[in-house]
Structure 1
Amino acid sequence: MTTAPFQKRIEWIDQTRGILFLFVILCHSKMATDWMKNIYEPIFLTGFFFLSGYLYKKRKIADQLRNIFNRLFIPTLIYSVLWGIIEILLTQSFNQGINTAINTAIGGDYIWFIPCLMLVEIYYTLVNYLSNKYVNIALIFIALISFYIITKLHINRGFWSWDVASYAIGSFALGNIFKPHLLKRRKAITTIFIYLILCIILGSIHLLKDIDMHLNQFNSPLAFLITSILGCIAFTSIMQYLPINRYIAEFGTYTLLLFPFHSLVLKLFIKILPQDIPFFSSGILLLMTIITCFFIGRYTYKYLPILAGKKNFL
């Protein structure tokens, strides 16, 4: 979800992340129509893994693991404590707050994606250190096997979401493969068009219904796999040719912090806003949530960089 401190930011990558995170907020708002879900659900989480793999640069293993520790592990602990404090304030129960902090730290609902990404990066770093020849192909093959087993056995909610990480590594490896091979403009346009048509067709026969990567729930695992792979390649390829909107690109730099806390903002506005005019209130709800998250990210990253994984402890 974040770029390593020693990497120069790439605006179109940040903008891609920003759009993907808008999909995350839309998903959790439960306001998207079925046809919208069919288009964004196959890629809005796997896209983050794909981008992380695209940005991966092999360095000394100690430097890589140190970076993961500072950028992902420390924020995981801090966010868990913060959620525990929030729970105490909301429930007036110290014990419930402690339980929330512990459950969050081991990969609970609020921050599951961050430790999952951490496991993917650790796994990839270690395997890549042992042998970088055909490592991406091997990891994609292993990820496909893992995906098949996990969806067949209905495994979910493993520690630090290891179950999701075991096949999300495939998206990470795919992103690394396509780093020098993203589609040219014409092919990218054609591929994104094919992706959209495929999503419409598969969605119309309910094969893309009820996708929940966190819980490993897919109405059709094969349909998800095909659309996810095609979508990540097409979406990332086309994004490099689109004009940069500096606000969306900036929003994309805050995803690490916003992933655990955007739902809190969303729930707050759901309670505040009137629900008697559904379409109007839904639009205002999304807009206010996005704007609030934007400024929370901006000022937190500016004044509390420790919450953004920007402080080196090792």
Structure 2
Amino acid sequence: MRERKYWIDYLKAIAIYLVILGHLPDELHIKWGIYLFHMPLFFIISGYLYKPRKVKDEIKKVITQLFLPYMFYGLGLIGLYCFMRNTFNISLLEGFLIGDYLKVCEIHPAMCPIWFVLVLINIRIILLLLNKVNLLLLLSISFIAGSIAVKLVNIQNILMFKTTLLCLPFFLFGHFISKNNLTNKLLKMRTEFISLLIIPLLIAFYAGHKNGNVAIIFCLYGYNIIIFYTVAITISFILMVITQKVCTNLLN
């Protein structure tokens, strides 16, 4: 039985809090900063926790833990929406079934958060098909694929395939961190050196601010895709290291 990594639980709690904060009125004008990394952080955490399995086991897990809850929650929200308005909205159902969240969010904003689950399903299927490919090579290719996908402005984001390719590098980076124990290696550094990470953290936020608004669900990454990826990964990774360091010091 694997030892539970409690710092991951705290990191997930931070990410969830940021999502909630990001959907509240922006009186403090901090949404731009949250949107730079909060969803990439979720994908990195998902990748960190991902464990390759046999094809049959992986398919079963994707269906039971992702696809069925996604369908149940989505259809349930549609049913509630139609019941409250005493009308059947075929556009909403169609948008949900084909994964067109531009349409779904416009009609029923409460359904927006489940796009994350659909993208996770897509990513797990991609990894199932490419499980023999070297991880570092796959990570490199995913950055290129994500950069190309968001440029296809004339193609609809059906089944969130463009968003999936945009987010795939984050998931793979998280898996790369886990597989190579990168956070554990940095954990051995003295606290004084860890605190120096605040410098690249501030630089990343500044660069992200200059790069423009981010909304991953709609494939909005600012002005430069390279800056977008660099900023999101830098902030998320530093947050992971600091969270692990703090939790380790407090729990030991």
Shift of 1:99: 4.0
My pick for the range that moved more, 72-81 or 143-152, is: 143-152
**Residue deviations 1:128-172 (CA, integer Å, cap 9, x gap):** 2x34xxx22222222221222233333676232111111312111
Question: Structure 1 residues 137, 144: closer, same or farther in 2, change over 3 A?
Answer: same
Given residue 104 of structure 1, which amino acid in structure 2 is its aligned partner?
F
Partner of 2:35: 41
Residues 1:218 and 1:232: Cα distance change in structure 2 (over 3 Å): same
Task: Give the Å deviation of 1:176.
Answer: 1.2
SS at match of 1:29: coil
In the alignment, the residues of structure 1 paired with residue 142 and residue 27 of structure 2 have an alpha-carbon distance, to the nearest angstrom, of 30
Q: In the alignment, is the contact (CA less than 8 A) between 1:199 and 1:227 conserved in 2?
A: yes
Question: What is the deviation of 1:177?
Answer: 1.2
Task: Name the CA distance, whole Å, in 1 between partners of 2:200 and 2:241.
Answer: 14
Give distance in 2, aligned partners of 1:126 and 1:32: 45
Q: Say how many residue pairs are matched.
A: 229
- CA distance in 2 between counterparts of 1:83 and 1:105 reads 13
Aligned residue number for residue 25 of structure 1: 20
Q: Is this contact kept in 2: 1:83–1:100, CA < 8 A?
A: no
Report whether the alignment pairs 1:218 with 2:221.
yes
Per the TM alignment, residue 7 of structure 1 is displaced from its structure 2 partner at its CA by: 7.2
Structure 2 unaligned segments of length 5 or more: list them. Answer: 106-110
Instruction: Name the counterpart of 1:196.
Output: 202
Q: Which amino acid aligns with 2:146?
A: F
Q: Give 1:150's aligned residue.
A: 149
CA distance, structure 1, for counterparts of residue 244 and residue 232 of structure 2: 19
Kept in 2, the 8 Å contact 1:83–1:104? The answer is: no
Deviation at 1:32, TM superposition (A): 5.5
Q: Which amino acid aligns with 1:218?
A: Y
8 Å CA contact retained: 2:36, 2:208: no
Identity %: 22
CA offset digits 1:51-85 (Å, max 9, x no partner): 11111112212111211111100011101211111
Contact map agreement 2:166 2:219 (CA 8 A) in 1: no
Aligned counterpart for 1:120 among listed residues 123, 126, 129? 123
Summarize deviations over 1:88-130 as a string: whole Å, max 9, x none: 133110x21x5434422433342211110111122123212x3
* Paired position in structure 1 for 2:57: 63
Superposed, 1:169-184 pairs within 5 Å as 169-179=168-178, 180-182=181-183, 183-184=186-187
Q: Which residue of 1 aligns with 2:10?
A: 15
Is the alpha carbon distance of 1:235 and 1:83 closer, same or farther for their aligned partners in structure 2, counting shifts above 3 Å? same
Residues 57 and 165 of structure 1, relative CA distance in 2, 3 Å threshold: same
1:275 aligns with none
Match of 2:236 among 219, 225, 232: 232
Q: Which residue of 2 aligns with 1:104?
A: 96
1:61 and 1:168 map into 2 onto residues whose CA distance is 23
Distance in structure 1 (CA, Å) of the matches to 2:154 and 2:56: 32
Is the Cα contact below 8 Å between 1:119 and 1:165 reproduced in 2? yes
Q: Distance in 2 between matches of 1:30 and 1:156?
A: 32
Contact 2:35 2:214 in 1 (8 A): yes
Q: Evaluate the alpha carbon distance shift between residue 67 and residue 155 of structure 1 in structure 2; reply closer, same or farther with a 3 A threshold.
A: farther
How much is the aligned-residue C-alpha RMSD, in angstroms?
Answer: 2.4
